[in-house]
Amino acid sequence: MPLTRFDPDNYQQLLADKCARVMRQFADLRAPVPEVFESPPRAYRMRAEFRIWHQGEDLFYAMFNPGDPKTPLRVDDFPIAAERIQAAMPVLREALLPNQTLRRKLFQVEFLSTLAGDLLVTLIYHRPLEADWEAAAAELEQALDAHIIGRSRKQRLVLSRDYVEETLGIANENFVYRQYEQGFTQPNARVNCAMIEWTCARADKLEGDLLELYCGNGNFTLPLSRRFDRVLATEVAKSSIAAALHNRAANAVDNLELARLSAEEVSEALAGSREFRRLKALVTPLKDYRFATIFVDPPRAGLDPATTDLVCGFDNILYISCNPETLKNNLDRICGSHELVDFALFDQFPYTDHMECGAFLQRRD
């Protein structure tokens, strides 16, 4: 996000204009008046990454405009970042400046923080990292009160741990999440909480079992598990499944099973056209689930045609989308058999054109 667009004094008007633009895309579907969930206008982003630009004895955080990718823009303040990241940025820079072991050929820095106050910092280099780097980085961990990871080509050094711990308050209950370095997490934690609570409020009316596709680390899965008899959640990324398994145990969820399957493979399994060894480990066989509801939070490309057809086979559809354009394409098909009951807009990325959407659909009688 170009910082030139950061305008907290006009946030409400910018949000209203963005909502109006998005809703024009759905005009022909006669979408319900949406609930709108705003972001904090400052300090909302839990992740940030910067190039490190070396200029003689100086170095600084840098970003680049897409139209001019070779000219670094110096970043001394990053007011959209979480306060934990903002506080760490100058401390890290001051520690790097005089320390040749830590700064030499340092290329990029990535920050991952949580509402719970945890911080992970990844330092990425264009050189191998040796024992002297580990010793200097251990001192840096103490100075930052953070966890440090060093990366270079074919090398990854974890000094203490490679994850942060998050706690999210959802509908008067706290859920804990382990979030791994370079694993997907929602960047705006407070808007993420609003997304989860909106989805759970729709699920409160429903019965039976839930199928979830693209479950990630269990971000939505854990709170949703409190609202259904049984949940089967699927995800293709091994690291995300590992995080979801840990988070299931940490939150004492006993009605959730996880399977490493793509959306296409789930379609094949439910249709009975293909058997998967990965499903044989399920405590409840696939055929014994009473699925009436499906929840999807797909990548920007949305649902492919086969998965869209799969979704249409459920009575209740909960859909969180990070791309209104692909959501609209999917709803054009889904609304042939289902009614769009509720709609929501979540301002995950203030001061940009990006908007997250929530849709709740039910099969027409």
Evaluate if residue 1 carries a pLDDT over 60: no
> For 150-158, which contacts have Cβ atoms below 8 Å and span 24 or more sequence positions?
150/122, 150/123, 150/125, 151/122, 151/123, 151/124, 151/125, 152/124, 152/125, 152/126, 152/127, 152/128, 153/126, 153/128, 155/128, 155/129, 157/129, 157/133
Exposure pattern of 179-206 as b/e (b: 16+ CB <10 Å)? bbbebbbbbbbbbbbbbbebbbebbeeb
Task: Say how far apart CA 248 and CA 175 lie, in whole Å.
Answer: 10
Amino acid at position 119, single letter: L
Question: Structural domain boundaries of the chain?
Answer: 3-41+165-363, 47-161
**Catalytic position from the list 181, 215, 356, 357:** 356
265 contacts 197 by C-beta, under 8 angstroms: no
314 contacts 294 by C-beta, under 8 angstroms: yes
How many residues comprise the chain? Answer: 365
On whether the 3-41+165-363 domain is CATH 3.40.50.450, my answer is no
pLDDT confidence of residue 4? 63
pLDDT confidence of residue 106? 98
Nearest partner of 316 among 266, 362, 271, judged by Cα: 362
Task: Say how far apart CA 115 and CA 85 lie, in whole Å.
Answer: 11
The string of pLDDT tens digits covering residues 75-90 is 999 999 999 999 999 9
The string of pLDDT tens digits covering residues 186-224 is 999 999 999 999 999 999 989 999 999 999 999 999 999
The string of pLDDT tens digits covering residues 274-305 is 888 888 888 888 999 999 999 999 999 999 99
On whether the 47-161 domain is CATH 2.40.50.1070, my answer is yes
**38 has catalytic annotation:** no
**356 has catalytic annotation:** yes
47-161 and 3-41+165-363 share a CATH fold: no
The string of pLDDT tens digits covering residues 242-277 is 999 999 999 999 999 999 999 889 988 888 888 888
Question: Token digits for 237?
Answer: 């990324």
Task: Say how far apart CA 317 and CA 360 lie, in whole Å.
Answer: 6
Task: Say how far apart CA 148 and CA 159 lie, in whole Å.
Answer: 6
Nearest partner of 105 among 125, 91, 87, judged by Cα: 125
Task: Say how far apart CA 179 and CA 147 lie, in whole Å.
Answer: 13
**Catalytic position from the list 322, 325, 335, 357:** 322
Quick check: helix, strand or coil at residue 75? strand
